[in-house]
A and B are shown apart, each in its own frame.
Chain A
Amino acid sequence: MADQVLNVENLSIDIPLSGDILHAVDGISISVNKGETLCIVGESGCGKSLTSLAIMDLLPQKAVRTVDKLELNGSSILNYSDRQMSDVRGSKIGMIFQEPMTSLNPSFTVENQMVETLARHRNIRGKEAKKLAVQMLEKVGITPAKQRLKQYPHQLSGGLRQRVMIAMTLLCEPELIIADEPTTALDVTIQAQILELLTRLQADFNTGLILITHDLGVVAKSADRVAVMYAGQIVEEGSVYEIFDNPSHPYTRGLLSCIPVPGKIKRGEHLGSIPGMVPSLIGEFTECRFAGRWGDTLGKEEENIAHLTPIEGVDYAFLVHGTTDHVVRFCCNSCLKKSKSKISKGVN
């Protein structure tokens, strides 16, 4: 598609770990269009951050990345050398990290760190670079911008630092921005501001945005599309409306049921939770990844059991309610059976 900024097909990340292999990410595929926000949701350790690092080719040395297709604006960056990738990073793909307090170099001024990106990618230096930096700081809502430029990171609050990070990332007008839990380390009041800022800028610059988070509230506010990750796999993917209205994977359902809604929950009632623990991803899987975690995710929702249409060529993956906009993937047969889903053109 002409509009497609990022296309990742069948990405796996393996990390050798004392004799065995940790399959951190197992065959996921995602895509983002211009001006679209894709939220990747999942709990800690499910592989979301590694996915973003894999796209940027910034994985730790030991990690092994295998991917069938990795395309940026239609052209493959799969086999880019480190030199070529370093040209892409910062100028075509920008990244915003979780901890603003530690993501900026404490020894250099804001100006220094912003201007070096311009020098590196767009060959703009000196007064002109400074002017652009000032403009961008103002765009992200930092005033007085000129004074802030001369300051050092430790003189700024967390929210301000994150704004600086965003400004820095936007300087070269990347086509794709990956934001890895950009608001998690910030105060709740600041969170909303930063999110709003991101969505506004995305609209202004028409960039694709991958927003990684574990907070469903963020998803509800900002996402166009959602990909739910669990144990290194994407278990459900679709438009934000589809995911919230028709969650089909027990994990998604579990996540949604965990959100306490005032008024809906009666006193004395247990808060929803997903029983059990995330399985270890070391070594090969011999049983269902979701084993022991079903709880009562399906018990109440009998009437909402999805109608699934199998997708050709992909095991255990189905279209929900027949739309290509909503895909669910089970990890194995027992999961499938247990979900009691109605499957048309039955594989089972």
Chain B
Amino acid sequence: MISYALKRSILAILVALTVSMISFSLLYISSDPAIAMAGETASDADIEAIRELYGFDRPIVVQYWEWLKKAASGDLGKSYYFRTDVSHLIAERLPTTMTLGLCAIIFAIGLAVPLGVASAIRPNSIIDRVSLFLSVMGQALPSFWFALILIVLFSVNLRWLPVSGSDTWQHFIMPTIVLGYYAAPAIMRLTRTGMLEVLSTDYIRTARAKGLRPPVVLFKHALRNAIIPVVSLAAVQFGFMLGGSIVVETIFALHGAGFLAWESITRNDLPTVQGLILAFSLFYIILTLIADLINAWLDPRIRIG
């Protein structure tokens, strides 16, 4: 287990470095950062001054190295727009996004796993068909449209929920649903497949032959084994939610990192965008690392070796 953890962690670090390289070069490729920073009305002299001041005239590898050193110590530069540290900006906005993401993944799991289990117990029954139907529908529904529909329905017509802002927990209900529903179908299918597979194994047959009661067979013996791949998937989906949060937060005006991303992109606020790409990627990398480690720990064959 230790060796696995070590190997996996080193891989994570390498991936993170590569991502940082890509995101760094991406934003320097097709625009001159000096111009972007100076603004469209700046004179050539101003642009030149900025270029020197911020070191945009040095070779890109050197710039990357400088940036990496600073990033490693938490300095992600200053936002062009807000004139504050990018890291502060992100740190400020991230908790909202994290809360939203967490609620969304819990919603997705709470919806998907029971449906998946129920479908596996009675394949081709009504509940199985309904679950599959819902999952097919869910995967085709564009999130932004779903969000608008929900707003019309619940905020305007029924007046149950507030439209925008992030003051109360009610503000989080619709965003949670919109962010979470997209992850549910995949989780449901994986749970269903996993359970179906596990339920046909020899050790489940043994459990039944021992006379154990159905709930025990189902939840103690079957689910425990079927859930292992679902943990990985849930973590991956949670990671994807950061990307999805951009749309959701923008529509519902939740002041999280996703909204910040959209704002920064439309304002050409380079350092913030870079910082966010890095932050999102790091989050995903750490998340999948944790998920893999949990996975390994859950399986005694890897844990003990």
- Chain A residues proximal to chain B, CB less than 8 Å: 56, 58, 82, 85-91, 94-95, 97, 99, 102-108, 116-117, 120-121, 152, 154-155, 165, 168
Chain B 266-305 per-residue mask, 1 if CB under 8 angstroms from chain A, else 0: 0000000000000000000000000000000011110010
Query: Which of A86, A90, A99 sits near B202, CB closer than 8 Å?
Result: A99
- Chain B residues proximal to chain A, CB less than 8 Å: 201-203, 205-214, 216, 221, 224-225, 298-301, 304
B206 touches A88 (CB 8 A): no
Query: Which of B203, B205, B300 sits near A58, CB closer than 8 Å?
Result: B205
CA distance A87 to B298 in the complex (A): 31
Which B residues are CB-close (under 8 A) to A105?
203, 206-207, 221, 224-225
Which A residues are CB-close (under 8 A) to B213?
86, 120
Known: A58-B205, A97-B205, A102-B203. A88 touches B304 (CB 8 A): no
SS class, residues of chain B in contact with chain A = helix
B210 touches A90 (CB 8 A): yes
Query: Which of A90, A99, A106 sits near B211, CB closer than 8 Å?
Result: A90
A106 touches B209 (CB 8 A): no
What's the least CB distance linking B226 to chain A, in Å? 10
In the A-B complex, the 7 residue pairs with the closest CB atoms: A90-B211, A89-B211, A90-B210, A102-B202, A95-B209, A152-B300, A105-B203
Further 12 A-B residue pairs, CB within 8 A, beyond A89-B211, A97-B209: A58-B205, A82-B214, A90-B210, A103-B203, A103-B205, A105-B203, A107-B299, A108-B224, A120-B212, A121-B211, A165-B206, A168-B210
Query: Which of A90, A99, A152 sits near B209, CB closer than 8 Å?
Result: A90
Known: A102-B201, A102-B202, A107-B224. A154 touches B209 (CB 8 A): no
B208 touches A58 (CB 8 A): yes
Closest residue on chain B to residue A109 by CB atoms = B300
Query: Which of B201, B202, B209 sits near A56, CB closer than 8 Å?
Result: B209
A155 touches B203 (CB 8 A): no
* Residue with the greatest number of chain B CB neighbours at <10 A, chosen from A85, A99, A152: A152
A89 touches B206 (CB 8 A): no
CA distance A206 to B172 in the complex (A): 66
A107 touches B298 (CB 8 A): yes
What's the least CB distance linking B101 to chain A, in Å? 29
Q: List 9 A-B contacts (CB under 8 A).
A: A97-B206, A97-B209, A105-B206, A105-B207, A105-B221, A106-B225, A106-B299, A107-B225, A108-B224
Which A residues are CB-close (under 8 A) to B216?
116, 120
Query: Which of B202, B212, B299, B301 sits near A103, CB closer than 8 Å?
Result: B202
What's the least CB distance linking B81 to chain A, in Å? 52
Query: Which of B206, B209, B210, B224 sits near A120, CB closer than 8 Å?
Result: B210
CA distance A293 to B298 in the complex (A): 53
CA distance A120 to B211 in the complex (A): 8
CA distance A39 to B214 in the complex (A): 31
B301 touches A154 (CB 8 A): yes
